[in-house]
């Protein structure tokens, strides 16, 4: 089965990492849009990528970013990267 982490596990871990980057009064949900709902700018995106790369010991190719709008998109991309 390898190192395939399940979606729910990664999602939970991403919520934890996002916690410090998102304003307190914003609810983080699977379909939250990073820009529209969570108020992310490019700096926050880079901070998140850094945290995620450290957490999973992976390198995230920036060319996936255009495909990532919501937390769900991000977790699906991560799942693919982590398991490859």
Structural domains of the chain ordered from first start: 7-83 (1.10.1200.10)
Helices (H), the chain: 7-19, 42-56, 71-83
CB 82 within 8 A of CB 58: yes
- The pTM of this model reads 0.89
Q: What is the pLDDT of residues 39-75, one digit of tens each?
A: 999 999 999 999 999 999 999 998 999 999 999 999 9
Does the pLDDT at position 1 exceed 50?
no
Percent of all residues in the chain with a pLDDT value above 90, rounded to a whole number: 87
CB 45 within 8 A of CB 38: no
Q: What pLDDT was estimated at residue 61?
A: 94
**Assigned token pair, 71:** 């937390």
Please tell me the number of Cα atoms within 13 Å of 67 on its side-chain side: 11
Mean of the per-residue pLDDT values for the chain?
92
Integer Cα distance of 56 and 41 in angstroms: 23
């Amino acid at each position: 089965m390898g190192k395939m982490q399940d979606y729910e596990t990664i999602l939970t871990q991403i919520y934890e990492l996002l916690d410090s980057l998102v304003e307190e009064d914003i609810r983080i949900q699977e379909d939250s849009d990073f820009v529209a709902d969570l108020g992310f700018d490019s700096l926050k995106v880079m901070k998140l990528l850094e945290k995620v790369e450290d957490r999973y010991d992976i390198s995230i190719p920036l060319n996936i970013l255009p495909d990532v709008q919501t937390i769900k998109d991000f977790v699906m991309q991560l799942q693919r990267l982590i398991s490859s």
